[in-house]
Structures are given as structure tokens and as C-alpha cells.
Amino acid sequence: MTIRCEAKDSHPFDHEYGHAERASYSINCTPKRRMPDRGTALAAGTGPRFNVPMIRAIIFDFDGVIADTEPLHYEAFARVLDGRVLMPTREVYFAQYLGLNDAAFVRTLHGEQEVALRDGDLEALLERKNAAYEAVIARGLRLLPGVAEFIDRVRPRLPLAICSGARRVEIESILRSANRLDAFLAIVSADDVPASKPDPAGFRMAAERLRPTAAGLAPGECLAIEDSAHGITAARAAGMKVVRVRTYATGSQCPSVDLEVDSLRELTDAQLTKLGAA
């Protein structure tokens, strides 16, 4: 004789939706269920999700999107390059050079002003710039307004990654001090890809590194969050939808995007759903 019963099986995500699943069992009326960790739940499709059929992951730029670091990079460069090349004004730097990694910025500036870089010059300049920048962020740096709350809201539902022209040590230091490092399942930094944005290689690599969690993830199923023209161009070239955060870059210099916000406080669940369905 087979005994069947119904039991309410509690799941860690049920509380978010205010209900429990009803399941049938044979013989054993006490279901034993291993609670999945976040990566397992996302990979298996058992975690709660937005109703976003075309968005399966979010890939963030770092400088100017997650952390207010762009002015710090500018000041560090100004200190190191003073007397060697003419440093652009802050307004020109924010409008034209954001999104370039450090090496690409130094090469571009020297090329535009026809100043030669001799053997070892680039490495020496970057070493001095990195030291100046790291001394500042070592004191601690807050994330931009609304960022921590947005990360906490979406991380149980979608896998998150970072694609940035910053160095990994810089990214991890700031995220660690903000207690958000473990929110990101993949980080692609300047250490991982030789080409700077607007090359799309970094965004494509970030999508690839999320595939163990989101099986078969394609770049076109990712939403990129960017602030710079170079970054937007890279994400578009990778085939991603793009939300632009208007932190510093001027609108006239930026390619078209799917949505613009002044901060991540404005990016709602309803907007994410609309972006996924578009």
C-alpha cells in the first residue's frame, strides 16, 4: 500500500514571495531538502527572478558606476604626467577619455601631443600613477549613491559581473571595504584583457565567465551598466543592452543607450522587466 501525503515544503526564497510550495511525496511524509547556495540556485533556475525573458545577467562597469573613483584617477594622472604632457581639463577628461584603461589613456595622450614614449616610460608612469591612486583608496571609499542597495536587490535574482578598465586589486579593495565583493561572480579587469574599451573583448569575457552559473548565457542576454562613451560602445559591440548612469560623461559624447538614469537608485524592477521584454 502506497501512502501519499501533501506537505508544505519551505524554501529559502519562499519568504520573498510570501508563499510555500505544495508537494506530494510517497512513503516518506517528511521531505528532506538541501538548501542551495546562491550560485547553485541561479544555475538550476530555482532562485527567484525578474520576469525578464532576455536579461539573464547584469555586467557593471566599475569606475563611475559602482565607485566614485573617476576624479581620483584624474588627480593621480595629473600628478604623474605634470610637465611631461598637457593634461586635459577635468571636463575634457570626463567627456573624451573615460572608459580607457590607464595604459590606453597614457598612450593616447602622448600620441595626440606627439610626445614619444621611450622603452620603460609607460611602465614607470603607470607604476607611479598606481601608487598615488592606491594611497588614496587605501583610506576607504564609499560606493556611489544607490549602488549597494541596487546590488543587494538584484543579486539573489540575477548573476552579476564587473567589466572594467581598472586593475583587479583596485576593484577588489573597494568592494571588500564595502562588503560587496562576494556579490560578483566574475570580475574582468585590465589585468585580464589587453585591449581597452571600446573593444568589446572584456564584456564578452565577463559573459563567458558567468556561464557556469547561467548555462548557455549569450552576450545578448546581458544588461551592461556603463557611464562612458567608450564603455557604451564596447557593450553595444558585444551585443548587450545598455543602461547609462549619468555620473560624469556628457550626453553629447555618448552613443545611444536603452535607458539613462542619474543613479542606480532610479533603476527599478519595472524598468528591468521592460528592458528584458523590449
> Do 166 and 252 reside in the same domain of the chain?
yes
**Domain span including residue 176:** 57-68+144-277
* Same domain? 181 vs 165: yes
Same domain for 263 and 154 = yes
pLDDT of amino acid 121 = 96
Q: Which of 220, 216, 236 is nearest to 228 (CA)?
A: 236
Answer whether the bond into residue 198 is a cis peptide, omega within 30°.
yes
Last residue of a domain, one of 137, 161, 178: 137
User: What confidence score (pLDDT) does residue 234 get?
Assistant: 98
Q: What are 164-204's pLDDT values in tens digits?
A: 999 999 999 999 999 999 999 999 999 999 899 999 999 99
Same domain flag for 196 and 64: yes
pLDDT tens column, 50-78: 554 589 999 999 999 999 999 999 999 99
Residues 121 and 149 in one domain: no
* In-domain check, residue 200: yes
User: So what's the pLDDT on residue 44?
Assistant: 44
* Cα–Cα nearest to 71, from 101, 57, 91, 52: 91
Q: Which residue type is seen at 237?
A: A
Domain termination site, one of 83, 114, 137: 137
Is there a single domain that holds both residue 115 and residue 221? no
- Angle ∠(121,126,128) on CA atoms, nearest 5: 100
User: So what's the pLDDT on residue 254?
Assistant: 75
Residue 158, C-alpha cell as written in the block? 540575477
What CATH number should be reported for the domain holding residue 205? 3.40.50.1000
The C-alpha cell at 87 is: 593634461
pLDDT of residue 36: 43
As beta bridge partners, residue 5 has 25
Shared domain check, 255 and 178: yes
Kindly give the confidence (pLDDT) of every residue in the chain, 278 residues in length, as a single tens digit, with 9 standing for 90 and above. 444 444 433 333 233 333 333 333 333 333 333 434 555 445 444 444 555 458 999 999 999 999 999 999 999 999 999 989 999 999 999 989 999 999 999 999 999 999 999 999 999 999 999 999 999 888 878 899 999 999 999 999 999 999 999 999 999 999 999 999 999 999 999 999 989 999 999 999 999 999 999 999 999 999 999 999 999 999 999 999 999 999 886 545 678 999 999 999 999 999 999 998 76
Query: In the beta sheet, which residues pair with residue 63?
Result: 67
Same domain for 190 and 61?
yes
